[in-house]
Amino acid sequence: MTNLRKRLGKAEDGDPYVIRRRAGTPYALHPDFTCDWHAFLRLAEHGLATKTIAPLDEALALVRGRPFGTYAPSWAFSLQQEMITRITDIAHAAAQHHTAHGLYDKAGAALALGLEVDESAELLHRDLLRLEAARNNRPGIQAAIQMIRKINTSLDVSMEPETEHLITQLRDPANAFTTTVGSAAS
């Protein structure tokens, strides 16, 4: 811990980032010691509270793949799950906004990032289906359907009813591009 304390240095107030322990107290970090996750949370909360997209896009720009990689250490498992959930929620919100405003490339980028973090997030797969419908891209819709089926098969899980319903709607040429494109339902 001494080496870590030296490497991390001191905060502006002169206290070390790794706070010196007192008898019976756990190791702790100085409150000024933050990481991208804290910035992500601040930006995401601000964007959701103010209903503005720029902070959500900024939050997503901080994400670099799945938190803790494919296999999180046991001590980080609950944190990893929280991070994955928050990231997919923000990717969903950003994708919905961008799709509704015709910013399809930005919506696609948000979804690609969210699916990189959690490829099994059906909420994001539904957003991808809606995005491809908005683009009027039938091959893209088929590819998205195949992707979610492949993932669900590999996980041995059933498709969520909302996803099945959306696929049924999109396969019906009479209403595929009129009833689901503008839908904000998840």
Rounded to 5 degrees, φ, ψ at 118 are -145, 95
pLDDT of 122 reads 97
pLDDT of 15 reads 87
Query: What parts of the chain have a pLDDT lower than 50?
Result: 176, 178-186
**Position of tokens 């969210």?**
114
pLDDT of 31 reads 86
pLDDT of 33 reads 82
- Please report, for the chain, the start and end positions of each structural domain, with discontinuous segments joined by +: 1-33, 35-118, 119-186
Using only the alpha carbons of the chain, give its radius of gyration. 21
pLDDT of 179 reads 41
Tokens of residue 95, six digits: 């994708």
pLDDT of 177 reads 55
**Position of tokens 């928050």?**
86
pLDDT of 103 reads 98
C-alpha span between 28 and 146 (Å, rounded): 47
Rounded to 5 degrees, φ, ψ at 71 are -120, 100
pLDDT of 175 reads 60
pLDDT of 7 reads 84
3-state helix, strand, coil in the chain (%, to 5): 60, 5, 35
